[in-house]
Amino acid sequence: MNLKELLAKKQSLENIKKIIDSEKNLTLINILKLAKNNNFYLSRSFVSQNFLNNINKYYQTDSELLSDKKAKQTLWIYITESEKYQTDPYQKHEADMLKTINLKNDFMIAIGQRAIDFANNNKINLAFEYKENNVAYLSKFLPNLIQNFLDKNGLYNINYVINSSRITNSWIEVLPLNNFALKMDDQENILIDNIDFRKIKIYPDINLFVDSELNAYLSYITLALLNESSIVNEKYNLIAENQKLNDLDKRLLALNKHIKREQQQLEQEEIAILSYKKNGLYSK
């Protein structure tokens, strides 16, 4: 490969590096945006949980969803991302689910092709499926879909299954309400312990308020976990982009050394030619 070809190859690699750098910056922006949203969603879900637990403690309501007892059936919400890097993070989750799922009574909401295939291959009742975790799209209707499922079918436990290093168990129990104990390091702590619920009067109807807060709780925790799954996926993308940039830096370093050798060799050849011409001139 001559010097001209080497320089053209260098320019091509530098152009590719600029593109990947831009993609990396977009990934970082997405992670920060998702994390900020997630922080709010988690904090708001804990506020609703706290309200509901205190109302259940001090007031009589008609909502069976505030019961501390587990139901006989469970709604599983399994969220998976596209698997680009052959890490197979879902294998343990699926093995643990298969030990627990009641194929006769339980239902699943499957988000992502891996989740859909898992449900179909194991003959799990599907309440809803969608091919990918599109947070912007799913956030418009998935919380209401879950609420409508409960309104139609009665009391169900709700378990969410996602891949996240910040979640130690194979799934997160969202209902019964007292079983929900998710904790994130960057979560804002919004405390309402100073409220004396025994002195609060709720208008116009306590059951309407409970239904509203339950809807808020399920909505915010759904949005939080959709975001958390997406954050993990974006972090995988960031790792891959950093690896590509490191590989490009190594290739450019080797190429620059090659170019320098070629330039030095070319300079030596030019000096030799000039020296030959000079010697030839003096010999005449």
Show the tokens assigned to 6: 């080497």
Side chain identity at residue 155, one-letter code: L
| Distance (Å, whole) CA 237 – CA 179 | 33
Tell me what pLDDT residue 89 has: 81
Tell me what pLDDT residue 186 has: 47
Superfamily (CATH) of domain 29-229? ATP synthase, F1 complex, gamma subunit (3.40.1380.10)
Angle subtended by helix axes 142-153 and 206-283, to nearest 10: 150
**pLDDT block averages, 10 residues each, the chain of length 284:** 84 93 94 89 87 81 77 93 76 92 94 95 96 91 91 89 85 86 56 63 78 90 92 89 94 90 78 65 52
Q: Are strands 157-161 and 74-79 parallel, antiparallel or unpaired?
A: parallel
Q: Which residues contact 14 (CB under 8 A, 6 or more apart)?
A: 252
Tell me what pLDDT residue 49 has: 86
Kindly list the domain boundaries of the chain, sorted by start residue: 3-20+239-282, 29-229
Q: Which of 123, 121, 120 is nearest to 103 (CA)?
A: 123
| Distance (Å, whole) CA 235 – CA 81 | 12
Tell me what pLDDT residue 16 has: 94
Tell me what pLDDT residue 198 has: 66
Residue with tokens 């969220």: 79
Q: How many CB atoms lie within 10 A of CB 174?
A: 23
